[in-house]
Structure 1
Amino acid sequence: MERIGGYLVERRLGEGGMGTVYLARTRGGRAVALKVAKAELAADPVFRERFRSEVEAARAVGGFHTAPVVDADVDGDPLWLATAYIPGPTLAARLAAEGTMDEDGLRSLGAALAEALESIHSCGLVHRDLKPGNIIMAVDGPRVLDFGIARAAESTRLTATGTAFGTPGFLAPEQALGHDVTGAADVFALGAVLVAAAGGSAWGEGTPMGLMYRSVHEPPDLSAVPAGLADLVSACLAKEPADRPTPAELLDRLTEPVPDPARPATPPYPPTLTVSPRPAAPPPAFTPPPP
């Protein structure tokens, strides 16, 4: 078996535009997810800086909502990043195997992702590529993975203006236009993820350019979203970043009790009783004493 950075590679877990992820083992036998960058990309100094940023981002957020970083080599050849292995399917695989989520499932998913984004943004980071393929449905709740294009909110852009990084269909309008982004772009992506989990597609199907065009210029298709969540998802997908809710506001709205329209409003408890006063007895008739 091949060893990379001292880790014994067992099998490939997946492959993306930036590299390949393997299931590997430490010398002590612990499972890790080993992400190895493509050789042609590793030769690019700009990519190396992005890879370094990914490692720093993942370490800053920690492991409660993500997969904690175990080890990394940001200077060697190949470039690699080892994180704790989180068993479970991606949200994309879960939807393909089990179908769409009902309103309760969507609320739970949305709350977990909003909590994760709140943690990510509190570190001064923006994920920039939240999508079903980057969400692991772990036993203890969804984990957000792949900070490959995350960056510090205040850092210098590593990409040229006018270049959009991310996944069409989940890109916020400001990303599609190549503008600077804030955490509001992740909230936009969360809205698109909820549409996908409900069985729809916020911007339909088609080419990447077509999806980006519709995200900038057209209203989203929310026909698959349950009525009880339509307003909230629509707010997430607002064209203007300032019009989108924050992760904290999302948590408030997603975890508040949902009224049951089939059940009448609960009366005050204990009930307030209105007691009419008993009418006073008439005074006894006056009887004069005998003579």
Structure 2
Amino acid sequence: MRTPVSDPQRIGPYAVVGRLGSGGMGWVYLARSPAGEAVAVKVVRAELAADDGFRRRFAREVAAARAVAGEYTAAVVDADPLASPPWLATEYVAAPSLAEAVAASGPLPEPELRRLGAGLVEALRAIHAAGVVHRDLKPSNVLLAADRPRVIDFGVSLLDGTGRLTRAGSVLGTPAYMAPEQLTGAGVGPPCDIFALGGVLAYAATGRAPFGDGSGVMYRVAHEAPDLSAVPPGVRETVARCLDKDPRRRPGTAALLGALAPPGTLPSWPAPVTDRIRERGEDLARRRSAGAAGVSMAPALLLHARTLLDAGLTGTLVRQAVDRGRSR
């Protein structure tokens, strides 16, 4: 991706503090609202912004995502699809991702796993109630904030591998967490997010995706059983039901809340995670008070910066990969 000639000092009404990262859609910045709140602002690349079809689809998707209301999501707070270039602002959560937390301190114990699962179900309830399907729920799209987990990038994962918005017959997502029907282009709906939830919980419990990664993962997702041997017995059956190949047999959010709700007092995150949360808050406070445009982000902030989906696969390519695996 081409680097912008210079980072903007303002995006809409937001004062830029510094660049967080980049992805297939463009660049993402940490910025301050007029009221002093921190937001992550995603700015669309010029070549995409020049496509009228892109702008129309972007506007529709943003409108749907803004309708999501819930305490377990990082909300879309503002957007201007007609700006030059178009941009999208979301709530900024100074917290590590689940992927980072597990990589740094290991899998979550069962009480914390239940807390995570119940929070993610609440997030999916809010997302689905707004008519949105996340389509790319995975460990890096889950933030472990001090008060509750937050789901990010819902309803705005719009790009395929070429940087174009998805069109009919295309699918997008992260293969290790995509439902079989999503991989083959058979359809995308709320059950796809339930399948991804099962994968995320399996990862949180074991430190690995239930179907593995790398070569052959799409075939395994479509045709093989997940490896849940290291998932705590108390939640193993629930995770397995989420990962059912048949979307009609996956549980709904009401059943999942009953199965995953932690008994008794809500557990805290493990100490290494709470330490990282505190460090993120301190970094954010320093950057907000500095307030200088173009300042490079501290590594702690960079680690959890999220952009829109960088890569995806068309339904044809995915089906070919699945078929190749079947023929081996």
Q: Which TM-score applies when normalising by structure 1?
A: 0.79
Residue identity opposite 1:24 in structure 2: A
Report 1:216-255 matches (<5 A): 216-255=222-261
User: Where do 5+ consecutive residues of structure 1 fail to align?
Assistant: 151-156, 259-291
Shift of 1:158: 5.5
Alignment match of 1:34 (pick from 32, 41, 45): 41
Superposed counterparts of 1:197-212, under 5 Å: 197-198=204-205, 199-207=207-215, 210-212=216-218
Q: Which structure has greater helix proportion?
A: 2
1:30-179 pair list within 5 angstroms: 30-147=37-154, 148-149=156-157, 159-161=167-169, 163-179=170-186
Match of 1:10 in 2: 17
Segment of structure 1 superposing worse, 33-42 or 136-145: 33-42
Bigger-Rg structure (1/2): 1
Q: 1:256 to 1:136 in 2, by over 3 A?
A: closer
Give, in whole Å, the separation in 2 of the partners of 1:231 and 1:190.
13
Structure 2: which 5+ runs fail to align? 1-7, 159-164, 265-328
Which AA in structure 2 matches 1:132? P
Aligned-pair CA distance for 1:178:
1.1
Looking at structure 1, the residues matched to 213 and 61 of structure 2 have their Cα atoms a distance apart, in angstroms, of: 30
1:169 match: secondary structure? helix
**Structure 1 vs Structure 2: percent identity of aligned residues?**
55
Q: Report SS of the residue matched to 2:177.
A: coil
| TM-score normalised to structure 2 length | 0.70
Contact 2:69 2:127 in 1 (8 A): no
The worse-fitting range, judged by mean Cα deviation, of 35-44 and 110-119 is 35-44
Q: Which residue of 2 aligns with 1:153?
A: none
Q: CA deviation at 1:73?
A: 0.7
CA–CA distance in structure 1, aligned partners of residues 212 and 242 of structure 2: 17
Judging changes above 3 Å, is the alpha-carbon distance between structure 1 residues 227 and 201 closer, same or farther for their aligned structure 2 residues?
Answer: same
Q: State the Cα deviation string for residues 140-171 of structure 1 (Å, max 9, x = none).
A: 20111112137xxxxxx96221x221111111
What pairs up with 1:265-284 in 2 under 5 angstroms? none
CA contact (8 A) 1:200 1:222 kept: no
Tell me how far 1:197 sits from its aligned partner: 0.9
Give the whole-Å Cα distance in 2 for the aligned partners of 1:213 and 1:9. Answer: 44
The offset of 1:248, in angstroms, is 1.0
- Alignment check: 8 A CA contact 1:50 1:149 kept: no
Cα distance, 1:6–1:124 mapped onto 2, change above 3 Å: closer
Identify which range, 21-30 or 117-126, moves more after superposition. Answer: 21-30
Structure 1 CA distance, aligned partners of 2:140 and 2:22? 11
User: Equivalent of 1:187, from 194, 205, 211?
Assistant: 194
1:143 is paired with a residue whose SS is strand
Alpha-carbon distance between aligned partners in 2 of 1:139 and 1:257, rounded to the nearest angstrom = 19
Query: What letter is aligned with 1:159?
Result: R
Distance (Å, rounded) in 1 between the aligned partners of 2:199 and 2:133 = 16
Give the residue type in structure 2 aligned to 1:189: A
* RMSD of aligned alpha carbons: 2.1
- How many residue pairs are counted as aligned between the two chains? 249
Looking at structure 2, the residues matched to 20 and 9 of structure 1 have their Cα atoms a distance apart, in angstroms, of 12
Q: For the structure 1 residues 143 and 164, does the alpha-carbon distance in structure 2 shift closer, same or farther, using more than 3 Å as the test?
A: same
Partners of 2:257 and 2:67 lie apart in 1 by 22
List per-residue Cα deviations over 1:75-127 (Å, max 9, x = no partner). Answer: 22211111222221121222222221111111111111011111211222211
Tell me how far apart the structure 2 counterparts of residues 253 and 27 of structure 1 sit (CA, whole Å).
42
- Specify the alignment match of 2:310 in structure 1: none
CA–CA distance in 1 between the matches of 2:86 and 2:260? 40
Indicate the structure whose relative CO is greater, using CA pairs within 8 Å and at least 6 residues apart: 2
Check conservation: 1:134, 1:144, Cα contact below 8 A.
yes
Task: Name the CA distance, whole Å, in 2 between partners of 1:191 and 1:3.
Answer: 40
Q: Relative to 1, partners in 2 of residues 1:98 and 1:38: Cα closer, same or farther, differing over 3 Å?
A: farther
